[in-house]
């Protein structure tokens, strides 16, 4: 097993920006009954899908997960790969959330330091105990064999030291940032002996047999929760209530329409979180008849024009939230609705993934394509049946415009789940930031 050395610059501390108190313990006894990984391998040798959370881990993140404690130490993946602004240096990195950690990819570092862990323990400790003296009632562990860490002036001993030494040490847990103290668990209301480290919170459970006498807080889970989008509703012109999620804040809104598939708005989750991380307000929503918008009747089979009404309502909602600039994006039928609405909505940019020129009786005319003066991005897989439609629309559309054709036959947002997914994520992030830049988050 390779051990990752500590990056001293990455360990700089700062005040946490989170507003929601986080629980500090999570029982992991259920791990005894789980299979080693809780997932099954995909066709790609460097990827693994976890049915428990419907997430996939790939490449270097999977290598790190497997080499550094896997399920027991890191927990299940709870997000896909995101592009997220670091609270440490303000730069944007590829990241993935796990129940007990957040992995960041730093390709500027040589392996094994190209994967670093976020300082979740620091963020939580400074959030809960902002006083210069930290948590009250701290008592250093001075038992035989305890160790003083001169970097932070804190001692670690007993079962906490044993756990620290046998579960990744400095690279995985970081330095201790508190002494031991008593803390009431936000999870079960009981009081436990805890100690905070840069990347973890240790909680003592003497009633459990080793190694479960020390349990880790699910800091990754609770850090991720505020970033999953806030539920919202809005009403269409014909009186139907639609459900959506708003990510982030800002005066530039990115409104994303899905591909009329079972997952609905969830297909945009990773790109929505990534854009929100760098300062955008992102709205994803379900068309009528899907997901959280089932108060309406699904009418794609006889009246696709209703999706135009749905998107118009989403745009109106975003503008009511303070948006002064607008990016519209959609895949397949959502891409067709995006183009129709873009004619009158006058967005700053338009993203279209494998949309049809004609969707039932709704036709996107050449004149409409020419009338959209915003920067346009047309995307498809080369073997998608709608690739010819995308190429036609690109050829007819007015400048400025871009296109990207990927290998394979994945349709619309499904490209994100292929080997081209990384490139598409980078393309979408770069396109939005170039066409509708926003000021840095304050």
User: What does the pLDDT look like over 31-66, one tens digit per residue?
Assistant: 323 333 344 434 445 889 999 998 999 999 999 999
Per DSSP, 387 falls in state H
Most confident stretch, 78-82, 256-260, 351-355 = 351-355
Most confident stretch, 18-32, 182-196, 214-228, 378-392 = 378-392
Report the alpha-carbon distance of residue 242 to residue 238 in Å, rounded: 11
* Residues 381, 407 contacting (CB under 8 angstroms): yes
Question: Is the per-residue pLDDT at 410 higher than 90?
Answer: yes
Q: Where are the alpha helices (DSSP H) in 193-304?
A: 219-224, 269-277
Instruction: Please count the other Cβ atoms lying within 10 Å of the Cβ belonging to residue 51.
Output: 10
Question: Is the per-residue pLDDT at 323 higher than 60?
Answer: yes
| Residue 87 pLDDT grade (very low, low, confident, very high; cuts 50, 70, 90) | confident
Question: Is the per-residue pLDDT at 439 higher than 90?
Answer: no
Mean residue pLDDT of the chain comes to: 86
Q: Where are the alpha helices (DSSP H) in 119-168?
A: 120-128, 158-166
**pLDDT above 90 coverage of the chain, percent:** 68
HSE-CB at 366 with a 13 A cutoff on CA atoms is 4
The pLDDT value given to residue 372: 98
Nearest to 410 by CA among 270, 232, 289, 267: 267
């Amino acid at each position: 097993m390779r051990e990752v050395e500590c990056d001293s610059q990455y360990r700089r501390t700062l005040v946490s920006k989170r507003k929601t108190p986080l629980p500090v313990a999570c029982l992991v006894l259920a791990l005894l009954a789980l299979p080693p990984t809780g997932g099954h391998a995909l066709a790609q040798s460097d990827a693994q899908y976890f049915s428990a959370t419907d997430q996939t881990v790939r490449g270097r993140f999977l290598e790190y997960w497997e080499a550094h404690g896997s399920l027991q130490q890191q927990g299940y993946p709870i997000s896909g790969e995101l592009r997220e602004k670091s609270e440490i240096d303000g730069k944007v990195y590829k990241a993935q959330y796990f129940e007990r950690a957040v992995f960041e990819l730093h390709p500027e570092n040589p392996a094994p330091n190209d994967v670093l862990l976020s300082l979740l323990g620091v963020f939580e400790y400074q959030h809960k105990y902002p006083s210069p003296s930290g948590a009250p009632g701290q008592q250093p562990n001075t038992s035989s064999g305890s160790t003083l860490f001169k970097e932070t002036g804190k001692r670690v001993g007993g079962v906490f030291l044993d756990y620290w030494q046998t579960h990744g040490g400095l690279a995985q847990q970081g330095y201790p940032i508190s002494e031991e103290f008593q803390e009431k668990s936000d999870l079960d209301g009981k009081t436990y002996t805890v100690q905070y480290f840069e990347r973890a919170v240790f909680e003592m459970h003497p009633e459990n047999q080793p190694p479960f006498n020390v349990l880790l807080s699910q800091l990754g889970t609770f850090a991720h929760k505020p970033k999953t989008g806030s539920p919202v509703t809005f009403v269409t012109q014909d009186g139907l209530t639609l459900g959506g999620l708003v990510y982030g804040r800002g005066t530039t809104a990115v409104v994303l329409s899905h591909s009329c598939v079972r997952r609905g708005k969830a297909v945009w989750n990773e790109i929505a979180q990534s854009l929100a991380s760098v300062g955008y307000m992102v709205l994803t929503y379900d068309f009528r008849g899907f997901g959280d918008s089932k108060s309406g009747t699904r009418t794609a089979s006889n009246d696709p024009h209703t999706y135009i009404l749905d998107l118009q309502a989403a745009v109106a909602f975003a503008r009511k939230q303070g948006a002064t600039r607008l990016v519209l994006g959609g895949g397949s039928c959502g891409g067709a609705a995006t183009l129709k609405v873009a004619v009158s909505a006058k967005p700053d940019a338009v993203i279209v993934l494998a949309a049809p020129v004609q969707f039932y009786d709704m036709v996107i005319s050449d004149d409409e394509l020419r009338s959209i003066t915003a920067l346009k991005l047309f995307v498809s897989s080369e073997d998608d049946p709608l690739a010819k439609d995308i190429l036609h629309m690109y050829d007819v559309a007015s400048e400025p415009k871009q296109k990207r054709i990927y290998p394979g036959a994945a349709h619309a947002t499904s490209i994100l789940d292929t080997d081209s997914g990384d490139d598409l994520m980078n393309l979408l992030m770069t396109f939005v930031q170039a066409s509708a830049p926003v000021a840095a988050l304050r």
